[in-house]
Structure 1
Amino acid sequence: MDSNYIKKLAYSFDVDVCGIGGVDRFKDAPKGFHPLDIYSEAKSVISIGKHFSASLFDANTKAPYTFVKNKIFQMLDDISIKLAFYIESQGYKAIPIPSDEPYEYWDSENKHGRGILSLKHAAQACGIGCIGKNTLLINEKYGNRLYFGAVITNIELTADALARNLCTESCNICLKACPQSALDGITINQKRCRQVCATSTPGGGTIYSCYTCRKICPFSKV
């Protein structure tokens, strides 16, 4: 089983982007959050993504964005599982990574959470795009309008070339626009971000109420 076949299979499951990277590309992952920390025999990571429509930014309510985001997470989880099942059926091992990861790591004081694998960093390591100053992954075709899933496998697959940097040094629009001043061009202050990024509705639901850093980015509507 080779990289091209894996990617062809992923696209047949209706992903918009798919990239592959070797575990050697994750050397900068925090301790405990490397693919090898999840599966000790891991050799490759398969990153998959689906995009959402730029039209959502034009809605006068955040409900459509929230609905689509939640739905895409479900779709990516289903695809990751299908891809993992197929790989296993061929005699290999495959571990699907949840798209909307429950935080096993949680710093309550700073409201800082980490999934078992950073999916945007995995997408970057698999050649799908680059991470911008707003900490979102930017892809040449879909801009920053992608959500991700991943599968870790013990197949040694050919890695895709890394993407070029698209976030220009002179652009700081997201840093200036963040209502919480939560961005510094390298990382995000989750405590500040979480104060406004999601709110509870009177009926008990949750709305993603702030995505200014995504919407204002020049790559939001490419």
Structure 2
Amino acid sequence: MINKIKNLTYSLGADVCGIGSIDRFKEAPKGFHPLDIYSEAKSVVSIGKHFSASLFDANTKAPYTFVKNKIVQLLDDISINLTFYIESQGYKAIPIPADEPYEYWDSENKHGRGILSLKHAAEACGIGCIGKNTLLINEKYGNRLYFGAVITNMELTSDTLARNLCTESCNICLKSCPQSALDGITIDQKKCRQVCATSTPGGGFIYSCNTCREVCPFSKI
């Protein structure tokens, strides 16, 4: 069954797919655990799609924004199709949006949380490790992955956890952040949001800063 699940996600366009049993999520904050979303959850399937390193060479962030939006749509489509497949096998499945609307929002600190941290889910499913810039690093695609997920009551064997790739001696992301929003463990969302996304003069939306991703040694592997 695991191979069928993974092969389905790959056939639909995913680049990575990992599985983690519910016991991998013991460190999830209260209210943001898979069991808080679906009380019968036994496993989480994490899926990811990478974007091209060439986007870092553009002199505008418009292509990066365009590609991210399209990847989010693709991941949502994969999650929904995987949900239907799991249900066809007699189990339940809950898809998690790739670009989650914040149900939790601290307006004073401009701190938001999706119902499930997709990068932490990817880490728990063996896809990679989270670096000092709070981005997940994968051995093949570096930090150039976006994620979706499906929670299910199907009991699946967990993938092996990935080794830590973010070296102790490297702090380039911390030093390069224009807002000094990184401390090596977490990110100050209030500081980050002041520059990470902006509106164009014509009213469009653009991801205007991805410095922490771009300067990382794992951005272009």
Task: State the TM bucket, normalised to the shorter chain.
Answer: over 0.9
Secondary structure at the aligned position of 1:88 is classed as helix
Partner SS for 1:191: helix
Paired residue secondary structure (1:113)? strand
> Is 2:23 the counterpart of 1:24?
yes
Give SS of 2:148's match: strand
1:126 is matched by which residue type in structure 2? C
How far apart are the structure 2 equivalents of 1:103 and 1:164? 30
Shift, 1:174, TM fit: 0.2
Give deviations 1:60-88, integer Å, cap 9, x for gaps. Answer: 00100000001100000011000001111
Normalising by structure 1, we get a TM-score of: 0.99
2: distance between equivalents of 1:101 and 1:20?
20
**Matched position secondary structure for 1:99:** coil
Tell whether the 8 Å contact from 2:13 to 2:74 is kept in structure 1 after alignment: no
TM-score (norm 2): 0.99
Deviation at 1:11, TM superposition (A): 1.1
Q: Which residue of 1 aligns with 2:213?
A: 214
How many Å apart are 1:150 and its aligned residue? 0.1
1:12 to 2:11 alignment:
yes
Q: Which residue of 2 aligns with 1:38?
A: 37
**How far apart are residue 132 of structure 1 and its match?**
0.2
Report the Cα distance in structure 2 between the residues aligned to 1:116 and 1:220, rounded to whole angstroms: 27
Q: CA deviation at 1:41?
A: 0.2
Structure 1 segments, 4+ long, off by >6 Å, are none
1:52 alignment partner in structure 2: 51
Which residue identity does 2:76 align to in structure 1?
D
Instruction: Report how many residues are paired.
Output: 221
CA distance in 1 between counterparts of 2:202 and 2:22 reads 44
Question: What pairs with 1:4-153 in structure 2 (closer than 5 Å)?
Answer: 4-153=3-152
Cα deviation for residue 13 of structure 1 reads: 1.2
CA distance in 2, matches of 1:12, 1:200: 35
Residues 140-182 of structure 1 show CA distances to partners (whole Å, capped at 9, x for unaligned) of 0000000000000000001000000000000000000000000
Tell me, in whole angstroms, the C-alpha distance in 2 between the residues paired with 1:32 and 1:23. Answer: 15
Residue 196 (structure 1) aligns with: 195
Once the two structures are superposed, residues 196-218 of structure 1 have per-residue CA deviations (whole angstroms, 9 ceiling, x without a partner) of 00001111111100000000000
Q: Deviations over 1:23-75 (max 9, x none)?
A: 11111111000000000000000000000000000000010000000110000
> How big is the shift at 1:10?
1.3
Paired residue secondary structure (1:149)? strand
RMSD of aligned Cα (Å): 0.5
Offset at 1:8?
1.5
Distance 2:73 2:203 in 1: 21
Q: Report deviation, 1:122.
A: 0.2
What secondary structure, in the 3-state scheme, does the structure 1 residue paired with 2:112 have?
strand
SS in 2 for 1:19: strand
Task: For 2:138, give the aligned amino acid.
Answer: N
Q: Give secondary structure in 1 for the equivalent of 2:122.
A: helix
Q: What code does the residue aligned with 1:35 have?
A: P
SS in 2 for 1:170: coil
The whole-number CA distance in structure 1 between the counterparts of 2:4 and 2:165 is: 28
Q: Which runs of 5+ in 1 are unaligned?
A: none
- Structure 2 spans left out of the alignment, 5+ residues: none
